[in-house]
Amino acid sequence: MKLKISANAARERITDMIISGNILLEKVTGEYFDAKKSGAFDEKEDIPQWKDQHVDWLHKCLAVLQDIFPTPREAIGLKNTQAQTSFQSGVNIKWSALANDFKAKLSALDGILKSVDKYSVEMTHELFIEDIDSFAKARDINPRQVKQLLPLKLLQDQVQTFFEEIIGEQFHKQDSEGKASDSLTIHVKVGGDRLKASLLLKGSGIKGKLTINKCGKSGLQIEKLVEAPADLYVVQHVDGIDERVITKLRGKIALMNSQGKKCRMCIVDGTDTARILLAYGKIQHQPK
C-alpha cells in the first residue's frame, strides 16, 4: 500500500504535530508548576482545561494521520496508546497522568514518523497538487472555499506570473493568450526533489472548459508540451479541463514511460488553480 500524499509531505506534517505537541506540553507543564508554586493550583478547574487542550491537539493528530495513511491503523494506534503508570512524589496524580499520556502520544508519533518509509514509494504517473511540495500550502484549502471564485478571471500572463512567484522562477517568458506557454522550470519540488517541469498554462482568454480544439489544432500544444525535456508535465486552466485533454496527455505520458523515460503529469483545473493562488495570497477569498 502507498501513502495518500508524498512521503516528504507526510514526514513534514507528522513532524509539525510532534512540534506542536511538545510546545503544548511545555506550556501546560509551566502553568501547572507556576500555579502549584503560587498556591493557585485548582485540580477541579485546571486539570479539565489542560485535558481539553490535550484532546484538541490529539484530534488534529488523528485527522492528519487519516489524511496521510491508506488505512486508519496509525490513527487508531495513536488514539489507543496507553501511558505507563508512574507518579512523582509531591506531584498531583491527575496532572501526572495527563503529562504521562502526553509523552506516550508523542512517543507514538515518533514511531509513526519512522514508519513512513515502510510504505510503498512506487512512482505514480499522475500527481495531484497535494503531491507537489511547491504547492504545499494549498493542501489546507478546501475546494469549497474557492467555489464562489470560479471561473477565475485571470489572463494567462497573470497566471504564469503568479505561478512563477510561487515556485521561485526568476525568468518570466512573455506569451500571447491562447498559445502554448511552453514554460520550462527547474524549481518545482516533489518529495523533496527538484524536478524539471513543462507547463501549459491557460487563462480567462480561453472561455469555458479547456478542450482539445482550444489546445491548438488537434491538440498540437499538448504535443509541444511533451516534446520538452522534463520530468513533470502540467496542464492548467482557470476553468474546467475536458476529459479528452486529460486522456491525450495521459496517453503521451504512458508512451514515454513505456520507452524508459520516467515522467509524470499533473492536471490543474480552475478549482486547484484557485486553491494554489488563494493559499499563497495571490487572490482573495471573495471576488471583487
Residue-level pLDDT at 178: 42
Give the span between the Cα atoms of 59 and 66, in whole angstroms: 11
The reported pLDDT for the residue numbered 183 is 72
- The tens-digit pLDDT sequence of the chain (288 residues) is 678 777 778 888 999 999 999 999 999 999 999 999 999 999 999 999 999 999 999 999 999 999 898 899 999 999 999 987 777 778 899 999 999 999 999 999 999 999 987 875 455 788 999 889 899 899 889 899 999 999 999 999 999 999 999 998 876 665 544 444 457 787 898 877 888 999 999 999 999 999 999 998 888 999 999 999 999 999 999 999 999 999 999 999 999 999 999 899 999 999 999 999 999 999 987 544
CA distance readout (Å), 191 to 76, 126, 170, 198, 280 = 26, 14, 22, 18, 20
pLDDT of the residue at 177: 44
264: nearest Cα among 252, 282, 275? 252
What confidence score (pLDDT) does residue 176 get?
45
**And the C-alpha cell for 165?**
512567484
Which phi and psi angles does 241 have, rounded to 5°?
Answer: -125, 125
Q: How far apart are CA 177 and CA 25, in angstroms?
A: 54
8 A C-beta contact, residue 232 and residue 266: yes
How many helices and strands in the chain, by DSSP H and E?
8, 5
d(CA 228, CA 234): 12
Taking the C-alpha atoms of residue 234 and residue 99, their distance in angstroms, rounded to an integer, is: 48
The pLDDT value given to residue 172: 64
